[in-house]
Amino acid sequence: MKPAKRLDKRPSRTLLDASLHHEALKALPEGERRGRPDLVHFFLLLGLDSALNKKGGLTLLVHTRNDELIRIAPQTRIMRNYNRFVGLAEQVFREKHVPAKEPLITLESGWSLERVVKEALPQGVHVAALKEGPSHVAPGDWVPARAKASRELAVVIGGFPKGDFRSDVAGFTREVVSFGAEALTVWTIEMELIAHWEAATGVFG
Amino acid sequence: MKPAKRLDKRPSRTLLDASLHHEALKALPEGERRGRPDLVHFFLLLGLDSALNKKGGLTLLVHTRNDELIRIAPQTRIMRNYNRFVGLAEQVFREKHVPAKEPLITLESGWSLERVVKEALPQGVHVAALKEGPSHVAPGDWVPARAKASRELAVVIGGFPKGDFRSDVAGFTREVVSFGAEALTVWTIEMELIAHWEAATGVFG
């Protein structure tokens, strides 16, 4: 599909998409880690559609490399079509509150990942960061154990296609956990966390 | 994004997409149940990226309303970008074998859903169909119980946005199971099945 329509817009208003803006991304710092709104799209769909979310047990936050914090209300219905989702995301970056009246999605600047962990999460919540590593645990073991120990759990997942967190996540989370030696996709990790948390806390039935 | 380019193609060569071809779908029988390649896209991504698939424990099949059977090899890498996936799907319907040499995705005609269950699955596999219903079980209970009873499990999931199976699934599956009174999305069901099957059979670790 031709990107003609989207390139008519001012570049600063265009959401970078690696499948359309390959050359532009190559010229940007860390371009190989950027331009993947599809990762956020599926992350939100899988989370918002889950039984855990429908029962009020899930909060989804998105932190950007420019230290923006995007909050998505649990009752938000994200469009399933990718091109429409890109339009929504561009609107969020432009207007900061969508819809303008009683917003479901909000964007605020000035949030480092450390500040998100320290100030945007409930007091006392157990915060873990996930990354690949040689020493790992099965999600079907780790999640139920955490559910037994803590009423609430926050997990930081990297939403970039390559490399490590830019922030020192070990410095401001309680533990860094690994589910495997190789990187898993955002939705693979999210699937494991949600399904096992639901089973451990009795969300179904 | 303008659908201009895709409408240049002969209609029979264009994958119907409810977000682009709303009027065309309204004129078709059961149009409200069609035009959702996004459901198949995310279904394939979530399955192919899972640890279960990477360990060789998952087979994904897609059955169409025109009784086509699409087989996707476990090592297939599906494009994450939706528009590119639509291009791939159109190629599959046109060429039946993709890529032409050593195909990873194949399409065959003449497969009713009943025939798929009876002839395309391994002998003796336990086949269940999933649909919403008043009497339901938690996936975290049902999947481990099934894993204990059967070495292999096949589950038929409806990949349409509305309504029931057109085939009499109860007539040719061993059980019809429900995870809830309301319909869940394809990926919500898939997530539960894969994550709990992995835990029950020790795929991680």
Is the pLDDT score of B12 beyond 80? Answer: no
Considering only alpha carbons, which residue of chain A is nearest residue B79? A19
- Chain A CB contacts of B198 under 8 Å are 138-140, 192
Alpha helices in A33-81 (DSSP H): 37-48, 51-54
pLDDT tens-digit profile of B40-76? Answer: 999 999 999 999 999 999 999 999 999 999 999 999 9
pTM for this structure?
0.92
* B18-32 residue pLDDT tens: 888 888 888 888 888
Report the gap between the CA of B22 and the closest CA in chain A (Å).
13
CA–CA gap between residue A192 and residue A195 (Å, rounded): 5
Closest Cα partner for A197 from A136, A153, A137, A138?
A: A153
Residue A202: closest C-alpha in chain B: B138
pLDDT at A8: 52
Coil/strand/helix, residue A27: coil
Write out chain A residues lying below 8 Å of B187, CB-based. Answer: 45-46, 49
Give the ranges where chain B is alpha helix by DSSP (H).
4-7, 22-26, 37-48, 51-54, 82-95, 113-115, 139-149, 169-172, 186-201
CB contact under 8 A, A1 and B83: yes
Cα A122 from Cα A128, distance rounded (Å)? 14
Inter-chain CB proximity A80 and B45 less than 8 Å? no
- Contacts of residue B71, Cβ cutoff 8 Å, sequence gap at least 6: B61, B105, B106, B108, B120
Helix axes A37-48, B186-201, angle to 10 degrees: 80
Which residues are A129's β-sheet partners?
A156, A176
Per-residue pLDDT tens digits for B71-121: 999 999 999 999 999 999 999 999 999 999 999 999 999 999 999 999 999
Which residues, other chains included, contact B101 with Cβ-Cβ below 8 Å and sequence gap of 6+?
none
- Rounded Cα gap, residues A57 and A68, in angstroms: 24
pLDDT averaged over consecutive 10-residue blocks of chain A (205 residues)? 51 78 84 86 97 97 96 96 93 96 97 97 94 94 96 94 88 96 94 98 88
Q: In what side-by-side order are the strands of the sheet with B126-130?
A: B153-156, B126-130, B175-177
Of A36, A79, A195, the CB nearest to B191: A195
Query: Can you tell me the distance from the alpha carbon of B24 to that of A188, in angstroms, rounded to the nearest whole number?
Result: 35
Confidence of residue B155 (pLDDT cuts 50, 70, 90): very high
Distance from CA of B74 to the nearest CA of A (A): 16
CA A152 to chain centre: 18
Identify the CA nearest to A190 among candidates B115, B49, B117: B49
pLDDT value for B1 = 47
Concatenating the DSSP letter of every residue in A78-99 gives --SSHHHHHHHHHHHHHHSEES
Give the residue with greater pLDDT, A145 vs B134. Answer: A145
Percent pLDDT > 70 in chain B is 94
pLDDT, residue B5, reads 47
The DSSP symbol for A15 reads P
Query: CA-to-CA distance for B48 and B61, rounded, in angstroms?
Result: 12
Q: Is residue B10 very low, low, confident or very high in pLDDT (cuts 50, 70, 90)?
A: low
Q: What proportion of chain B, given as a percentage, has pLDDT over 90?
A: 76
Q: Is the pLDDT of residue B187 over 90?
A: yes
Best residue in A80, A162, A196 to probe B by mutation, most B CBs within 10 Å? A80
B37-48 and B186-201 are packed helices; what angle lies between their axes, rounded to 10 degrees?
20
What pLDDT, on the 0 to 100 scale, is given for residue B4?
46
Among the listed residues B51, B50, B73, B75, the one whose alpha carbon sits nearest the alpha carbon of residue B62: B73
Rounded CA separation B32/B37 (Å):
13
Q: What is the pLDDT of residue A12?
A: 65
